[in-house]
Amino acid sequence: MNVDTERPDPTRALPIAVLMSFLGGFLDAYSYVGWGGVFAGAQSGNIILMAIAMVQGHWFTATRHLPSILAFGLGVVAAETLRMPRPASLLRRPDIAALALEATALLVIGLLSPAVPAALATAVLAFAAGLQLSYFGRVHGWTYNSTMTTGNLRNLIEAMAGMAFRRDHAAQKQAIALSRVIAAFAAGAGIGGLATCRFQAHAIWMAIPVLSLGIRMLSTSSRSIAPPVPRRADDPQGIASATLASPGRNSAETRA
């Protein structure tokens, strides 16, 4: 897959991908350990566990996974809604809105637990995971998954094969990026599981600073959200316009 050549999108930056993958691992470990063996993002795991419980006749156990599966779908729908032209134009930065919505959902769980029912807690966590997965799914020009890692592992092996057999420079960059994404997911899962064992349901509060960091990284990113600056009549090459609209200019350069 070719790397995108269009205007840089901060949601596709490697630091954001690493941060989202860490959070994805954290959410799954927190949900599984703290809320009765139900995953927040790994819906394939929920479907497998639900099917096993059904064939064993454990119907109540099987139904525990349904709220997570359904809420995950609602999270995906919410992410697609944020991408639609009208919401995107009203919000100006739907990427930041997505993380703010996820942070709000997790904050509510932390505030209400352990009084909140497990079904509601896992549904809210799955909604956050679906929102995150759908909105943050590319790093540079490559796809990745921030809430589960099977596909990431497959793509990493394919990229390593490309490095070995074709000496593909792009495959090397992809392998490096995916290695960091997978390592971040594993670290998040380990920390999430340990924190949940120690702090129980309130461990979810540890995810709030991670999301806050993500919001800060996006808000200070180089992405230009203003409309293009029109070319001046005395600047047919558009040099001055390109300078003014350049997403790489920071506030210090503007003041200077």
Q: At what angle do helices 169-199 and 150-166 cross, to 10 degrees?
A: 150
Supply the pLDDT for residue 8.
Answer: 62
pLDDT tens digits for range 201-216: 999 999 999 999 999 9
Q: pLDDT by residue (tens digit) across 69-93?
A: 999 999 999 999 988 888 888 888 8
Q: CA separation (Å) from 94 to 5, 32, 87?
A: 21, 29, 8
- Per residue in 15-55, pLDDT (tens digit) is 999 999 999 999 999 999 999 999 999 999 999 999 999 99
CA-based end-to-end distance of the chain: 40
Q: What is the mean pLDDT of residues 252-256?
A: 39
The average pLDDT across 137-149 equals 90
C-alpha dihedral, 19 to 21 to 24 to 25, nearest 10°: -110
Q: Is the pTM of this model over 0.85?
A: no
User: What value does the mean pLDDT take over residues 167-187?
Assistant: 94
Mean pLDDT (whole number) for 110-119: 89
Check whether 12 has a pLDDT greater than 70.
yes
Lowest-pLDDT range, 153-157, 207-211, 227-231?
A: 227-231
Q: Which of 126, 129, 123, 135 is nearest to 88 (CA)?
A: 135
pLDDT of residue 222: 55
Q: Is the pLDDT of residue 183 over 70?
A: yes
For the chain, the maximum distance between any two Cα atoms, rounded to a whole number of angstroms, is 78
